[in-house]
Amino acid sequence: MSAMSDAMPPVLLSIATFPLRWGDMDALGHLNNTIYFRYFEQARVEWLYANGWPVDRAASEGALLLTTNCHFRAQVVYPGDIRIETYITKVGKSSFTFSQRMSRADAPDVIVAESVSVNVWCDYAANTSRPIPDRLRLLLTGALS
């Protein structure tokens, strides 16, 4: 996995599948470059929700995106489904790094894009980082599967 950090062995957290939407294609007929980020984000957010860590503005603390990138490898065209593999590759005191791979669901071995994102656990009111809660840390490292 070229986009993955060597900070820790990658731990597969989830595989999500999303339908491509016609409206997400650009004028050249392929998936608009900005939409890749939305699919990666949706997969991260769905994993957090499914594991009891909803992204909730009413909460006192939670994950905030610090940085993200995308390495585009191949064009994607409608119709079809997108498959996102989400891995955790680094867990620090207050931050964690997701690495993700995108492929078409009908060709899961052909990677069309890769992304790395760093997320920080934050106290929303104080606008400061906080240590990652122990239960979330265990989930991220694969200790609670």
**12 burial via Cβ count (<10 Å: 0-12, 13-18, 19+):** exposed
According to the model, what pLDDT value does residue 10 have?
Answer: 87
Q: What span, in angstroms and rounded, lies between the C-alpha atoms of 66 and 110?
A: 28
According to the model, what pLDDT value does residue 3 have?
Answer: 45
Average pLDDT per 10 consecutive residues for the chain, totaling 145 residues? 57 95 95 97 95 86 95 96 96 96 98 98 93 93 64
Structural contact between residues 82 and 113, judged by C-beta atoms closer than 8 angstroms: no
Q: How many C-beta neighbours within 10 Å does residue 120 have?
A: 18
SS3 22: helix
Q: Which CATH number fits domain 11-140: 3.10.129.10, 2.60.40.1930, 3.40.50.620, 3.40.50.300?
A: 3.10.129.10
